[in-house]
C-alpha cells in the first residue's frame, strides 16, 4: 500500500458532481477551500488555501480506491460508494450530512410475484446482490450505468436498485419505490495508515469539518 510521507502535502480526494458542489462551501468555511475553483478548471490536482494540503478530483468509486490504497490520505465520498466498494482500510469519522438521499428498490406498482426469479438492474451490483440474497430472493443482477428507469419500462428487468432523492423521476416514468436499503449522505473517510502517521493534521481537519457541518 502506498502512503503519503510527512514531507508531502496531505491529499484529500473530492468526488465530482453534486457532492463537490455541496462540499466546496463547507471547505471554504473551514479555510480549506482550493485556491482555484475545481468546477471551472481542467486541473485534477488543486492546492488548498491552507498550506500543506491539496485536493484531487475523482469519480466517487475512485475516491474509495485512492484512499484505500493510500494514494490519497482522506476523501469526501457518498455512502453509496462505500457500501458498493467496501470500506476496508478506511475510517469513516464524519457524516457531513450533504447530498442526502436513499438507496431503494423500485418497479411498477403491481410489484413482484412471490417465488419468481427477479431480473434487477443497478449500478450498485454488490449492494443489490447482497440485499436480495439476505431476503432469500433469487435475483439476476444486470449492471447499468444510467437511465435506470428505462430498464423495467422496456422489459429488460423487473426491478431496479437506485438512488432516490425526491422520487419525481420514478413517478414520471410510472415507477414506485418498494424497499428501503440504506440512507445515503456524504462521508469524510481517512486511510487507516495515514491516520496513524498524520494523526495531528487529520484530527484537526476532522474537528473543523465536524464543527462546521453540525452548525449548518
The pLDDT value given to residue 216: 67
The pLDDT value given to residue 86: 93
Domains of the chain: 10-99+185-215 (3.40.190.10), 101-182 (3.40.190.10)
The pLDDT value given to residue 4: 55
As a whole number of angstroms, the distance between CA 169 and CA 195 comes to 40
Sign of the alpha-carbon dihedral angle for 76, 78, 83, 85: negative
The pLDDT value given to residue 209: 96
SS3 41: coil
The pLDDT value given to residue 115: 67
Nearest Cα residue to 191 out of 89, 62, 48, 94: 89
The pLDDT value given to residue 7: 73
The pLDDT value given to residue 74: 98
| Prediction pTM value | 0.90
Which residues of the chain are under the pLDDT cut of 70? 1-6, 113-115, 216
Sign of the alpha-carbon dihedral angle for 20, 172, 139, 184: positive
As a whole number of angstroms, the distance between CA 197 and CA 185 comes to 28
The pLDDT value given to residue 139: 95
Residue 15 parent element (H or E): strand 10-15
The pLDDT value given to residue 2: 56
As a whole number of angstroms, the distance between CA 131 and CA 149 comes to 19
The pLDDT value given to residue 42: 86
The pLDDT value given to residue 152: 95
Residue 119 parent element (H or E): strand 118-122
As a whole number of angstroms, the distance between CA 29 and CA 74 comes to 18
Amino acid at each position: 500500500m502506498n502512503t503519503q510521507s510527512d514531507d508531502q502535502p496531505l491529499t484529500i480526494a473530492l468526488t465530482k458532481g453534486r457532492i463537490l458542489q455541496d462540499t466546496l462551501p463547507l471547505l471554504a468555511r473551514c479555510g480549506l477551500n482550493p485556491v482555484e475553483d475545481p468546477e471551472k478548471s481542467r486541473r485534477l490536482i488543486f492546492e488548498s488555501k491552507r498550506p500543506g494540503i491539496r485536493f484531487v478530483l475523482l469519480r466517487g468509486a475512485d475516491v474509495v480506491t485512492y484512499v484505500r490504497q493510500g494514494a490519497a490520505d482522506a476523501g469526501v465520498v457518498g455512502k453509496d460508494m462505500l457500501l458498493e466498494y467496501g470500506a476496508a482500510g478506511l475510517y469513516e469519522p464524519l457524516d457531513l450530512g450533504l447530498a442526502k438521499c436513499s438507496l431503494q428498490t423500485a418497479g411498477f406498482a403491481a410489484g413482484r410475484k412471490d417465488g419468481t426469479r427477479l431480473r434487477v438492474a443497478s449500478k450498485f451490483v454488490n449492494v443489490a446482490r447482497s440485499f436480495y440474497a439476505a431476503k432469500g430472493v433469487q435475483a439476476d443482477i444486470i449492471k447499468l450505468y444510467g437511465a435506470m428507469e428505462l430498464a423495467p419500462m422496456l422489459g429488460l428487468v423487473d426491478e431496479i436498485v437506485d438512488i432516490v432523492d425526491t422520487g419525481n423521476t420514478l413517478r414520471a416514468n410510472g415507477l414506485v419505490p418498494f424497499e428501503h436499503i440504506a440512507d445515503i449522505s456524504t462521508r469524510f473517510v481517512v486511510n487507516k495508515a495515514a491516520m496513524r502517521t498524520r494523526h495531528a493534521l487529520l484530527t484537526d481537519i476532522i474537528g473543523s469539518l465536524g464543527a462546521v457541518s453540525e452548525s449548518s
